[in-house]
Amino acid sequence: MAGAPAPHGFSNAAAVLHGIDDLRFEDFPMPLKPGEGMVRIQMKAVGICASDVHYVRKGRIADFIVDGPMVVGHESAGTVIEVGPGVKRLKVGDRVAIEPGVPCWSNKASREGRYNLCPDIEFFATPPHHGSLREYIDHPADFCYVLPPNVSFEQGAMVEPLSVGVHACRRGEVKPGKNVAILGAGPIGLFTLMAAKAFGADSVAITDLKNDNLALAEQMGADICLNPKASATPAEVGEWLKASLPPYGPDVVIDCAGFESTLQTGIRACVAGGKVVMVGLGSEEARFPLSIAACKELDILGSFRYCNTYPLCLKLMESAKVDVNPMVTHRFGFTAKEVDAAFDTAARAPITGAIKVMFNLEGPDDDDDEAA
């Protein structure tokens, strides 16, 4: 299993996807030393995301196709065990959250502060880039963020999905004075709910077709939980949402499900002049109520991953403005058997009740301190 890092031939167990449903627990070789500006991290906590499961099951998401072995996983935190040349910000022993997407700075999007849109971004576990479900990784120090002492590795790993929620709230300009409706109480909807409350939204309503998901949402601070019958039309659900968020309805609707029905619901529910943020990617295309969107002068905003969110997320966790701990429903160690079990648990979430499945990786000097 895992050995202490040594200059030559130490083992680095990794979960490597070779093809559809072909996830292997095998060694992933590392270079001798971390390169310029890089740090070597011993992984402590890695969460599974629905996209990881999707790559395992389908071998692709849209135009990203798994074409050769790829380490999966991108929600991660660990300990710095070695620093490369030129690294000043971090030192050995630092506990860090790892931002999985590393952009380049020569393009317009990056230079305009939207580095999530860098056309050449290297993002963990998006083909052809390797992910972080492994014992060791080298990563640019600039994309590793020190965990506050009261923030655990698991919380650090969850900075990634929380970032998606934070970015959506920024896109929607969630703030005091705004009522927010979140469509979908799956993991992303729940992280977005936490972010919306932290951003000071007046009231947050959340919808889902499963009462179990709504129960957790209520626990996490949703002011209104709504289970629209599967037969309800977008117009009907829109009216319910408007009525549930007086006086005018939601100023911001964040669609974390991403289906035609939720997009239509969002556009109908949203106040005139408001914002509908598209986070979920349930379907590639949707029938879009153009005249409603135009006459209400809505802003319909795509939201893709995130940028400049890690420091804020860590502050929110440190000050307990968000509590992501209840999101972890299943924990696994890092062995071949447990990798299979974990992915199976995540893939069958409707039956297993999985929300966030977390790997805890044991290192040789593991004295992980959990958060209060």
Secondary structure class of 277 (helix, strand, coil): strand
In the stretch 61-90, what mask flags binding to another protein with x, by CB under 8 A?
A: -x----------------------------
Q: Binding another protein by CB under 8 A: which of 195, 253, 293, 312?
A: 293
CB of 273 to another protein, least distance (A): 5
Please pick, from the candidates 102, 209, 286, 349, the single residue that binds another protein as defined by CB under 8 A: 286
CA distances from 222 to 24, 131, 226 (A): 40, 33, 10
- Out of 57, 58, 210, 287, name the contact with another protein by CB under 8 A: 287
Chosen residue from 27, 202, 299, 340 binding another protein by CB under 8 A: 299
Are 299 and 276 within 8 A, CB to CB? yes
Conformational region of residue 165, where left means phi above 0, alpha means psi within -120 to 50, and beta covers everything else? alpha
3-state secondary structure 186-216: CHHHHHHHHHHHHCCCCCEEEECCCHHHHHH
**CB atoms < 10 A from the CB of 3, how many?**
11
HSE at residue 248, side-chain half, CA atoms within 13 A, is 14
Among 285, 350, 367, 372, the residue binding another protein under the rule CB under 8 A is 285
Binding residues for another protein restricted to 305-364, rule: CB under 8 A? none
**Near another protein by CB under 8 A, which window of 40-48, 115-123, 233-241, 314-322?**
115-123
Is the link from the previous residue into 247 a cis peptide, with omega within 30 of 0?
Answer: yes
Candidate list 204, 279, 324, 361; residue touching another protein; CB under 8 A: 279
Is 109 an interacting residue with respect to another protein (CB under 8 A)? yes
* Chain positions contacting another protein, by CB under 8 A: 62, 108-109, 112, 114, 116-117, 119, 248, 258, 263, 272-273, 278-279, 281, 283-291, 293-304
